[in-house]
Amino acid sequence: MNPITIPTFGLGTFRLKEQVVVDAVRNALEVGYRAIDTAQIYGNEAEIGQAIAESGVPRRALFLTTKVWTEHLAGDKLVPSLKESLRKLRTEQVDLTLIHWPSPGKAVPMTEYLGALAEAQDQGLTRAIGVSNFTVALLREAIGILGAQRIATNQVELSPYLQNSTLAAFMRAQGLHLTSYMTLAYGKVLGDPLLQAIAQAHGTGTAQVALAWALQQGYAVIPSSTRRENLAANLQAQQLRLSDEDMARIATLDRGERQANPACLAPAWD
């Protein structure tokens, strides 16, 4: 396994911009979050750096993740792009850097961009490296290049409506860590009658049930919210323990419903 420990719970910042993301990060840090997930393409690294600097929380207490965009995958572009991310985030090193999407159409060979990512780690720009939106086939290729132990996580869409069982099983067999994004399926699961019934039985909310479902399978989660009360409530999922029956019932919700499937980027999903 990779020697770095990835926090099980963090703040996702996709679609959060300008003052909205500053406020979200500030509120998250105040209610107890210590992991922040961003990406070059989100266009909010500078604002996140500002929010962290103004928070008073020591950098060493935080776990920062960013992701390299597809335009920066070439061997001569990746490291400079990451250095620019560090400048915006006001830090000398991030904790985790991911390849955001595999190179569209394989325009940049995986050996080239994973090699550049490994070089960024060797230079001390990032403590750990990993991938995002990688399928079983892509992971096999990445393992052949880097070795499984160097891949800290594969960040993929996973929710009660998209349980990604083939990929999850492969990753478990390889000892690879999985980070779930869009665990709430853009909020669609919040109105699910089955999840609502389970939540009522536990005296909690549907968001907490969905997040606890992912956590109990060993996945990390990075839910996003702009409301302080929701940020605090989401954290409570860490204390919720679902029964085997609850987990089995949630397993029946899988319908392969994917929220993030951009035609120009998406690989051939499992």
Taking only the tens place, the pLDDT of each residue in 25-50 is: 999 999 999 999 999 999 999 999 99
Chain centroid, CA 90 distance in Å: 21
Smallest Cα–Cα separation from 128: which of 112, 115, 117, 136?
117
Q: Does residue 182 form part of some domain?
A: yes
Q: Does residue 29 form part of some domain?
A: yes
Q: How confident is the model at residue 74 (pLDDT cuts 50, 70, 90)?
A: very high
Percent of the chain with pLDDT over 90: 99
Q: Does residue 227 form part of some domain?
A: yes
Tens of pLDDT, residue by residue over 234-256, are 999 999 999 999 999 999 999 99
Q: Does residue 260 form part of some domain?
A: no
- Cβ atoms of residues 267 and 141 within 8 Å: no
CATH number for 172: 3.20.20.100
Q: How many CB atoms lie within 10 A of CB 4?
A: 15
pTM of the model: 0.97
Task: Indicate if 161 belongs to the active site.
Answer: no
Q: How many CB atoms lie within 10 A of CB 231?
A: 22
**What does the pLDDT read at residue 170?**
98
Tens of pLDDT, residue by residue over 154-208, are 999 999 999 999 999 999 999 999 999 999 999 999 999 999 999 999 999 999 9
Q: Does residue 3 form part of some domain?
A: no
Evaluate if residue 99 carries a pLDDT over 90.
Answer: yes
**What does the pLDDT read at residue 220?**
98
Q: How confident is the model at residue 1 (pLDDT cuts 50, 70, 90)?
A: very low
Task: Kindly list the strands in the beta sheet with 35-37, ordered across the sheet, starting from the edge strand earlier in the chain.
Answer: 11-12, 35-37, 63-68, 94-99, 126-132, 151-157, 178-181, 220-221
Taking every pair of Cα atoms in the chain, the longest distance, rounded to a whole number of angstroms, is: 55
Evaluate if residue 135 carries a pLDDT over 70.
Answer: yes
- Cβ atoms of residues 198 and 190 within 8 Å: no
Smallest Cα–Cα separation from 39: which of 131, 138, 151?
131
More confident site: 2 or 198: 198
Q: Does residue 140 form part of some domain?
A: yes
Residues 104, 11, 269: CA angle, nearest 5 degrees? 30
Q: Does residue 130 form part of some domain?
A: yes
Catalytic residue among 42, 161, 181, 219: 42
Count of the separate structural domains present in the chain: 1
Q: Does residue 73 form part of some domain?
A: yes
Residues whose CB falls within 8 Å of the CB of residue 18, separated by 6 or more in sequence, listed in order: 44, 47
Residues whose CB falls within 8 Å of the CB of residue 193, separated by 6 or more in sequence, listed in order: none
Range of the domain at 28: 11-251
Q: Which whole number is the average pLDDT over 60-66?
A: 98
